[in-house]
Amino acid sequence: MGMEWQIKEQVRRLAQFETFDLRKNFRGRGQYDVIFCRNVLIYSNLDTKRRILSELRGALNPGGYLLLGAAETMVNADDKLRRLEIGGATFYEAS
């Protein structure tokens, strides 16, 4: 109880849903203030993970945040984002 969250309708209405293979080129997909990529990179080997993280970093606006799953880490994969702990969650901030 109290552990389920639902996004506000006014925010949800702004969303576009589409499928996309993260291993493909990100160019032209836009720039974002926040990217949620929870428990997706766990299936990738280190090289693929590095490539995807680099693309995700490139798709963030300066000061934008990348959020991964709680058990995921960027150690050894990408050190160009600043790691922050906010309210018990880990954020990776683009410069």
Q: Which residues bind ligand SAM (CB under 6 A)?
A: 21-23, 38-40, 43
Report the alpha-carbon distance of residue 9 to residue 13 in Å, rounded. Answer: 6
Question: Which lies closer to ligand SAM via its Cβ, residue 7 or residue 95?
Answer: 7
**What does each C-alpha distance from 54 to 59, 66, 78, 89 come to in angstroms?**
9, 11, 7, 21
| Dihedral pair phi/psi, residue 33, rounded to 5° | -85, -30
Question: Which lies closer to ligand SAM via its Cβ, residue 38 or residue 82?
Answer: 38
Question: Which lies closer to ligand SAM via its Cβ, residue 29 or residue 95?
Answer: 29
